[in-house]
Structure formats: structure tokens, C-alpha cells
């Protein structure tokens, strides 16, 4: 045990905090992910099934490419292009990564988009927490969904004729016989 601690204590580091990466690093990681999807598509065009995760889609005349899933404006209203081949998609993704590293305006747009997404996610979480605080109706169970037979416990009637005679239109309820109750 002592050797273990000696060996690894020299390499001890602080844990990275969530969100410690800057927005450019995150965006470059997303671009790298998109390039991996593009390579996977090029290997097997008919078997590719991850279209929902990609920034590129097949469209008439080639491929439509967005600037991120949130349609980030890359400047001058540019957020979507149509290119003719997968090599053009790869070139566009490379240019996006370069643009993210060197264009301050684009970096600000990425940061604003990140803040908007964080606000949206926090609002969704707080709305979910508020709905959790409200008392809800109990869920219907199988036993509560089936109709139950109501058996009233009638008081013994007095021995007078008036009390034993059934009233017109009134149904009398009583105990079921034991043979019927078990069924």
C-alpha cells in the first residue's frame, strides 16, 4: 500500500471542474465528432444510421451543413450551406474549426449560444422541479381500476311489519352468503 501511495502521489492532480474548458475547445471537439461521423458515413453510405447526431444531411444536390446543432450564426447570417460532396463537408468543418479559433466575433457567438442553452436547460430543470413539488393524483393501480362490490352491513331490522316491508323502488342490499363471497 505504501508503494502505491508513493508512486501515485507524485502524479496527483486536481480534478477538472465542469465547464472548465473554454468554448473554443468544446466547439473543436464537436467538429472532430462531426468529422468522425463523416468518415463513418464515407465508409458505409447505405448503412449509416446516425443522421440525428450529424451537422450534415443529404439534400437534393449534395449535403446541407449547419453550423452546430443550434444553428449558430458564423457571421453575416451564415448558419447553413449546401455543398456537393463529402470532401466539401470536411473542408467546411475544417474552416469552422479554424474560424472558431481565430475569429473573436464567432467566439462571442459561441459563448452567447452556450449561455442561451444553459439558461434553457436551467429553466427546464426548474420547471421540472416545480412540477415535482405539486401534489399529484395517485396513480391508478390494477386493483383500483376494477369495480368493487359494495356490501353494506345492514342493522338488524325491528320485527315490525313496516320496517321489514321493502320500499317501492329501493333496492335492498345485504350480506352475500359465504358461498358467494369466496367466488
Number of domains in the chain: 1
Question: Is position 30 within any domain?
Answer: yes
Global pTM reads 0.56
The sign of the dihedral angle between the CA atoms of 79, 80, 86, 91 is: negative
Reply yes or no on whether the pLDDT at 30 is more than 70. yes
55-105 pLDDT, tens digit per residue, is 999 999 899 988 877 767 777 778 888 999 999 999 999 998 998 899 888
Q: How far, in Å, CA of 78 to CA of 55, rounded?
A: 14
CB 176 within 8 A of CB 151: yes
* 85 within some domain: yes
Which residue range forms the structural domain that includes residue 80?
23-130
In a domain, 116, yes or no: yes
Amino acid at each position: 500500500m505504501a508503494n502505491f501511495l508513493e508512486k501515485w502521489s507524485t502524479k496527483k492532480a486536481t480534478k477538472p471542474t465542469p465547464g472548465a474548458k473554454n468554448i473554443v475547445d468544446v466547439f473543436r471537439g464537436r467538429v472532430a465528432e462531426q468529422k468522425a461521423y463523416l468518415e463513418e458515413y464515407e465508409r458505409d453510405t447505405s448503412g449509416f444510421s446516425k443522421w440525428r447526431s450529424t451537422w450534415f444531411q443529404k439534400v437534393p444536390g449534395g449535403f446541407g451543413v449547419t453550423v452546430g446543432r443550434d444553428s449558430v450564426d458564423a457571421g453575416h447570417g451564415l448558419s447553413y450551406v449546401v455543398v456537393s460532396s463529402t470532401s466539401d463537408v470536411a473542408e467546411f468543418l475544417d474552416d469552422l474549426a479554424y474560424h472558431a479559433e481565430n475569429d473573436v466575433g464567432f467566439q462571442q457567438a459561441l459563448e452567447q449560444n452556450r449561455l442561451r442553452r444553459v439558461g434553457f436547460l436551467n429553466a427546464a430543470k426548474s420547471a421540472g422541479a416545480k412540477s415535482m413539488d405539486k401534489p399529484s393524483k395517485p396513480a391508478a393501480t390494477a386493483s383500483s381500476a376494477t369495480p368493487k362490490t359494495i356490501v353494506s352491513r345492514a342493522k338488524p331490522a325491528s320485527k315490525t311489519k313496516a320496517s321489514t316491508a321493502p320500499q317501492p323502488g329501493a333496492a335492498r342490499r345485504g350480506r352475500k352468503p359465504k358461498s358467494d363471497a369466496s367466488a
